[in-house]
Structures are given as C-alpha cells and as structure tokens.
Amino acid sequence: MMTPSVKTPSAAIMSALAIAGGIALLLALPALLSTYYLGLVVQMLIFALFAMSLDLLIGYGGMASLGHAAYFGVAAYTAGLLALRLGASVWLALPAALVAAALTAAVFGFLALRTRGSYFLMITLALSQVAWGIAFGWRTLTGGDDGLTGVPRPALGPHWSLADDTSFYYFVLLGTAIGAAVLARIVSSPFGYALRGIRESETRMAALGYHVKRYKFTAFVLAAIFAGLAGCLYAYDNRFVSPDYLQVARSAEVLLMVILGGAGTLIGPAFGAALIVLLENLISAYTERWLMVIGVIYIAVALFAPRGIVGFIRERRAKPAPRPEVR
Amino acid sequence: MTFWLIQTLNGISYGMLLFLLAAGLSLIFGLMKILNLTHGSFYLLGGYLGLATFHRTGSFVFSVLAASCAIAVVGIVIERIFLRRFHLQELPQVLVTFGFLFIFSDLATLVWGGNPQTMPKPAILASSIQLGPFFYPSYRLFIIGFGVLVAVVLWWLQEGTRVGAMVRASVDDEEVARALGINVSLLFTLVFAVGAFLAALGGVMGGPIVGVYPGADFEVLLLGFVVVIVGGLGSLKGALVGGIIVGLLDNFGKVLFPELALFTIFAPMALILAVRPEGLFGRE
C-alpha cells in the first residue's frame, strides 16, 4: 500500500513551489538550450510518458509486461502510415493510432491476462514479437527493415506547422503533460486504488466483489493507449518508424526505466527514463560499447536499487512503513 | 513430393536444435520459475566457443564437449552469484538475465566480429546420403538422431534416476521437497547448469547448418519461448514436440510465405494460448 504522505504546511508550500518551478523551467527551456539539448529533452519527455504508462501496469496493477513496446510501435506505425500513405492530418492520425494501440492491447491482454508472474512476462514478450514480426516481414506495407521514412512533423492547421524545433518541443511537452496528468488522475481514483488492491491480493479483492479480470484488462488497455501516445510522439520526433520501435530490447529498456526510477510512483519512472536517455546519449558519444554498459546498468539496478531512485530516497528519509517490493 | 520431404527433414533438424534450447528453458522455468533471457547467450557463446576450439584443435567432438562444459560453468556462476538471491522475484531476475544477454551479445561482437561464421562439419558427416529418390546431407540426419538421443537420455534422467525424482518433486511442490530434506538449492544449480549445457550444445551442433552470427541469441531465444509456450512449461515431451512443430513452421514459413515467415510461427502460438494456455503438454 502507498503510505499517504502527511505534509506539514511548509512542506506543502515547498512542493508546490518545486512543481511551479519545474513547470516554469520546462516552459523556458527552448530559450535556454541549444537545438541538440532541446532534442534530448524531447526524447526524455517521450520516454518519461512511455515509462509512466508501463508503471500503471507494474507499479499499480502488479502486471510486469515485457512487451510494452508493441503498443508504442503499433501506434507509431499507424500514425506514420496514415500520414505517409493517406496524407492524414495529425487530428485523424493520432486518435487512430491510439485506437490501434488499444485494439492490439485488447487482443494481447485477452491472451496474456490468464497468466501472471514470470509466465505473464514470457507471454507478453512473445506476443509483442508477433507485432515485430509483422513490421519486419510485411515489406509491402511497412517497408520491413528499412522502415517508414519521411514521416512529417504534425501540422495543427493549414498555417500552423510544428516543423520547427521549438513548437515541436511544446507539442511534445503538452502531450506528455496531458498523459502524465491523466495517469496521475487514474492512479488516485477509486479505480487506481482497486488496482493497488489487486496487486497486493487478487483473491481478497475478488472476495470483496471486485471483478479482478475486468480491472486488469482495463488497466492493460489504458497503459497501451499512453504507450501509443509516446510512440506517435517518437515517430514525429524521428520522422521515421522502424521495427526497432517494437523490439524486445525496447520493452526491456522501458522496464528498466520504471524500476530504476521506482515502480508505483509515476514520477520515479519519469526520472528513470530521463536518466537512461541522458546516459545513452552521453555514453555512446564516448564508446561503441553502449550495449555492454547498459547490460551492467541492468544488473546493477537489480542488485543495488531494486526499489528505484524514489524508493531509495524514501528509505533514506526513514519513513515508518516502506513500500513493499513489487513482485 | 521430394520438395516436401526435404523441407520436412530440414524443419525437423532445426526443430531438434530448438529442442536442445527449449528443454533447458522449460526445466529452468518449471523448477525455478525463472524466465532466463540469458539462455540465448548460452546458445550463441556455445557456438562461438565451439568454433574457436575447433580452429585450435581440429576435433569436432572435443569442441562440442569443451564449449558446452565451459558454458555450463558460466551458467553455474550466474545462478549462484546473481540469481540465487532473487528467488521468486521476477523483476530483478528479468533485469539480471537481460543484462547478461546484452553483455554477452556485445562481448561476442567484440571478440568474434560481426560477420556470420560457419562451423565445418565433421569429416564423416560431410557428405550427403541417398534417401530413395533424393540425396540429403547426412549431418542434418545426424542432428535428428542426436536430438532423439538427448531426449531419451533426459527422459531417463528425469524418470529413472533419483536426482530426476527429486527434480520432479521440487517442480511439484518446492516447500514440501525442502521439508523432506531434498537439497533444492543444489538442484537449482544443477538444472541451470544442465540447461546452459544443452543450449550451448545446440549452438555448437547448429554451427554447421545455421551458422553463428550476431543476433542469433535473440532469435533463438524467442523461438525457444514459442516452443515452451506451445509445448507446455516444465515438460520435456512438450519441448521435444514443440521444438519439432516450431522447427517445421519456421522452415515452411520461410520457404512458402517469406513475407509473413514470423507470423506462421506466432499465429499458431497465439491460437494455443487462446484455447490451451498451459500448452500442449503442460499441466493446469
């Protein structure tokens, strides 16, 4: 269970100030950063949203998915294909992409949610490979290995293009902010508390009259929609979609971001994502052995930071009831 | 007709390699509940080590044994030092095994480069033999026979020996097995080592027909999961039958529907998940 944080008035003011300062900083960034670093922040925001969507599953629902990139990629391909082949505007392509992600998650969730634990990990992984296989193999539709090139940056209207980096940054910031706000609303709603209950004990929640499977299914589809939003933003950012969007390594990477940040906190996975994106860019500038470095990071997180950054900070503050480990 | 026979034999021989991989994956999963993503690395490293040993010694049999034993030791180290402490905690397990998958993948590229390599066949099995109307590579037939032999040995180990009985008991109920005085933690290490050995064996034996190349670790790992899902968790029979089914689907998919090759494997898997989630030979 989450320990409701009891704040003294001054602490409340401090955290309100911190949030206001954070928002002001994010709004001012285009004036402060060079194009390169602004692009880096765009990536951080996108992966923060992606990681938060997975946190809804892992941290709140207790469903550790190893195939979350499937929805990221399906949405990216849908948005890319609609824009490239049909010339659809962002107003059509983006909602359609989210629907595609939700439908994929409905099918995969139907199959995977009969299982739990390690078996759930394996099945979500295998199912995400179905999506990868289609993206990789069906060359006439998806371009196969070459991917979809030239995905245009969205335009909100005939004279309102988001092609320049500053307006695109604000577009991504808005998308991530909306996603984060809705996710925060979900986890603090009765639905969110029911999910936490299911994470702790499915049988008890079932005995209390909750339709456990329906709750898990709903969470699974909701998480996929936000992953899809992140995938679309990433496609617009790269102007490119490839099978890499749905590969296992990406699913594992977002899992790492969630655990590194601290599952079940939303804000933690967002910071975990930002940290991994930053490390990836810094380290690959110095060495070609990025894979080896990230491999060591995976193991180090499991060994030394199983509750993540946020969990570590909470333990240091010695709160009376630490959060139980997410299994 | 000849086409179908040849492709069927090709599919079965590849299926036998998948069986070697999936048997360990399935046993490790059944006993320890670990989703071992490093299993693909065991296959890849086994293949490369076998190749390197063969270039030094020229002996096929010695290379097979040396590489498989070396990887079994790697497996023991990973299980003892890194996985033991995370018993039944699937998230740290995934992080650790995925981390090693990345590290070994990069290590293999660093040491052996990015080009695909093929292991030479042993001299006796280098030719083709006549099977009625057509000729067929004897090495592939040997792989099929070898797979059957491994299946029989594993079946005997599991059903006919004391250690096998202990493994079966621990799969059924670990706590009771511990209470009865069975050294379950030693069994964990043993099964993990055997699994790593078999995966490496698949990598070396597959060297002459599918080659060793960067990315093979991820590729066989995913096929191995499909085999386990189709065949059923913790079941040797499931790994064998599942391996042959997936080997055939993979082969015919690639030959007949190249664009949707992966789909021909994953669609039947999704179907089995829908109607029989525990797999063909898995228990409820």
Q: Is residue A141 within 8 angstroms of chain B, CB to CB?
A: no
CA distance A292 to chain B (A): 4
Are A130 and B98 within 8 A, CB to CB? no
Q: Which two tokens stand for residue A15?
A: 């955290």
Q: Is residue A181 a part of any domain in this protein?
A: yes
Q: The domain containing residue B212 runs over which residues?
A: 2-275
Q: Under a CB-based contact definition with an 8 Å cutoff, are residues A232 and A104 in contact?
A: no
Residues of A in contact with B33 (CB under 8 A): 117-118
Q: Is residue B259 a part of any domain in this protein?
A: yes
Q: The domain containing residue A91 runs over which residues?
A: 35-247
Are A326 and B266 within 8 A, CB to CB? no
Are A122 and B229 within 8 A, CB to CB? yes
Q: Is residue A115 within 8 angstroms of chain B, CB to CB?
A: yes
Residues of chain B predicted below pLDDT 50: none
For position B172, what pLDDT does the model report?
Answer: 86
For position A156, what pLDDT does the model report?
Answer: 86
Q: Is residue A7 a part of any domain in this protein?
A: no
Q: Is residue B88 within 8 angstroms of chain A, CB to CB?
A: yes
Residues of chain A predicted below pLDDT 70: 1-8, 318-327
pLDDT digits (tens, 9 = 90+) for A234-244: 999 999 999 99
For position A5, what pLDDT does the model report?
Answer: 54
Q: Is residue B258 a part of any domain in this protein?
A: yes
Q: Which two tokens stand for residue A180?
A: 């984060």
Q: Is residue A154 a part of any domain in this protein?
A: yes
Q: Is residue B284 a part of any domain in this protein?
A: no
Phi, psi values for residue A138, rounded to 5°: -85, 75
Give the whole-angstrom CA distance, residue B36 versus residue A121. 11
pLDDT digits (tens, 9 = 90+) for A170-228: 999 999 999 999 999 999 999 999 999 999 999 999 999 999 999 999 999 999 999 99
For position B35, what pLDDT does the model report?
Answer: 92
Q: Is residue B281 a part of any domain in this protein?
A: no
Q: Which two tokens stand for residue B106?
A: 């990069």
Q: Is residue A113 a part of any domain in this protein?
A: yes
User: Which B residues, 130 through 159, put their C-beta within 8 Å of a C-beta on chain A?
Assistant: none
Q: Is residue A25 a part of any domain in this protein?
A: no
Q: Is residue A168 a part of any domain in this protein?
A: yes
Other CB atoms within 10 A of residue A320 CB: 5
User: Which B residues, 181 through 220, put their C-beta within 8 Å of a C-beta on chain A?
Assistant: 218
Are B260 and A126 within 8 A, CB to CB? no
- The number of distinct structural domains making up chain A is 1
Q: Is residue A49 a part of any domain in this protein?
A: yes
- The number of distinct structural domains making up chain B is 1
Cα dihedral: A299, A55, A244, B19 (round 10): 60
Q: Is residue B89 within 8 angstroms of chain A, CB to CB?
A: yes
Q: Is residue B148 a part of any domain in this protein?
A: yes
Q: Under a CB-based contact definition with an 8 Å cutoff, are residues B71 and B200 in contact?
A: yes
What CATH number should be reported for the domain holding residue B59? 1.10.3470
Q: Is residue A121 within 8 angstroms of chain B, CB to CB?
A: yes
Q: Is residue B136 a part of any domain in this protein?
A: yes
DSSP A150: -
Q: Which residues pair with A148 in a beta bridge?
A: A241
Q: Is residue B117 a part of any domain in this protein?
A: yes
Q: Is residue B229 a part of any domain in this protein?
A: yes
State the complex-level ipTM: 0.92
pTM of the model: 0.92
For position A1, what pLDDT does the model report?
Answer: 45
